[in-house]
Amino acid sequence: MVPWELVRHKLKTGMQEANDSMNANAQEWSRLLESAGRIKRLAPWQWMNEDDVFGIAHPETGELGFISVMGALGEHLAVSVYLGASALARFLALQQAPQGVLEEHPELLLEVPQLQASFEDRGELEDWDRQLLRGLNLKFRGRKAWPRFQSFRPGFMPWRLEPEEIGFLTVALEQLEQVAPRLKADRSFLSGEEPGTLLIRSCRTGKKNTGEWKDRYERVPPPEFPPVPLAWDPGDVEKLKRMPAREDILEVDFFQFPGAIGQKGERLQAGYILLSLHAPSNLVFGAQTTCVTESIEHMWGQIPGLLLSRLVEPGLRPREIHVQSQLLQNVLQPAFKELGTKIVLKPVLKKLRAAKRELLAHFENKPAPARRR
C-alpha cells in the first residue's frame, strides 16, 4: 500500500492562491463536486484496495486513465486517475517497491502523472480550495469531508486542475460510481477471462453513438518511457583522467527538497538536490540543486554533468561511487566508464542518509541528530 501520509506536507506546499484560476465554468465544477459527493457517500474504500485498478478511455481523445481507490486504512481517502500506461506501470512498481524506498524517497509518489480527488480535514485545504467551494456556495462538516482536486506532473508540486482535466476526473468518478458496486458483488469483475486482461470502460460520442459506456477487457498497452538524454562536459572527463586515481569512495543520492520554486499563480516546480558524501571522512562533498526545465527525464540526464563538474574542482577521481537507486546507477555509469570509477548499487547508505536528514532538517528549520564522524 502506497503511504500517501508521507507526502501530505508536500500536497499542501504546492498549492497557491489563485483569484483568476476558476477558469472553468461553474457547471463543470458543480458536476465534479456532485460526483465527488456521491463517491464520499458510497465509500468504495471500504471494499476496494489500491491495486483494484480499472481503466477508462477518454470519451473525446481516447486517452487511457487508470482508476485506483485509496483509504482502506482510513488515512488518505482519495481516488487517483493514473494518466496512461506508463503512469500505471510506475504506480504498480511503487506497490512492489522494497520496504523503506518510499520512506527515503516519498517524492516518487509525486512523480507519477495523475489526477486526484481526495477528502480532507478543513485545515488541509488551501485558500484556492476554499474559494472554489465558497464560490459554489458549498459547505461541509466533519473530518475528511472536504473535497479537494489536484493535478500531479513529474518534477512539479501538486497543483489545481487545469480546465481540460476537470472533465476527465469527473468522468472517472462517475465511472467509479458504476464499477465499485459491481466489484463489491463480484471480486473477479475487474479481470477478464483471458489472463492479463483488465476492465476498460469506454464510450463513443457523436451523431451515430448513444454515449453509452460499455465494458471491454483488454491488455494494457506496454508502457513507453521517454529516454533519458545523458549530458556532461567531455572536458571534465579529460581533466579527471589526468588526475591520479585514488582509493576514495563517494556516496551519492538525488532527492527532492522541501519547498517549491516559481512565482505566484504558476504551477510550481519541485527542487532537487544531488548530495554527495566523502565516505572516508564522513564529510559532505557537495550539495548541488537543480529542477525541471524541460522534462524530468532531461533533469535526470544532467546528473552526471553536475557530479563531474563538482569533482573537477578539487581534482578528485574516486575509485567507487555508491548509490541507493537504480536510476543513479544507470545515469552515472556511462559518464564514469572512462575514468574506471565503479558505480556500486547499495541497499542502504547509513552515513549518507544521516547527512540527508541533517540537510532536510536545515531546510525545515528543525533540529537533526548529530552525525558520527
Cβ within 8 Å of residue 45, ≥6 positions away: 69, 70, 71, 72, 77
Give bridge partners of residue 147 from the DSSP assignment: 119
How many Å apart are CA 368 and CA 357, to the nearest integer? 7
The tens digit of pLDDT for each residue in 325-342 reads 999 999 999 999 999 999
How many Å apart are CA 336 and CA 320, to the nearest integer? 10
Please tell me the pTM assigned to this model.
0.89
Q: Please report how the helices 326-336 and 303-312 are oriented relative to each other, as an axis angle in degrees rounded to 10.
A: 60
Q: Is the pLDDT of residue 368 over 70?
A: no
Going by the DSSP 8-state scheme, the letter that residue 159 receives in this structure is: B
Unique residue bearing C-alpha cell 456532485: 34
How many Å apart are CA 311 and CA 341, to the nearest integer? 12
Query: Are β-strands 114-120 and 77-83 bridged in parallel, bridged antiparallel, or unpaired?
Result: antiparallel
Unique residue bearing C-alpha cell 527515503: 104
> By the 8 A CB rule, do 232 and 85 touch?
no
> By the 8 A CB rule, do 12 and 124 touch?
yes
Amino acid in position 5: E
Lookup: cell for 100: 523503506
Q: Is the pLDDT of residue 279 over 50?
A: yes
How many Å apart are CA 46 and CA 51, to the nearest integer? 14
The tens digit of pLDDT for each residue in 32-82 reads 999 999 999 999 999 999 999 999 999 999 999 999 999 988 889 999 999
How many Å apart are CA 71 and CA 65, to the nearest integer? 20
With pLDDT > 70 as the criterion, what percentage of the chain qualifies?
90
Reported as type and span, the H/E element at residue 33 is helix 26-42
Amino acid in position 224: E
The tens digit of pLDDT for each residue in 146-180 reads 999 999 999 999 999 999 999 999 999 999 999 99
Q: Which domains does the chain have, with CATH numbers?
A: 4-219 (no CATH), 234-364 (3.30.420.10)
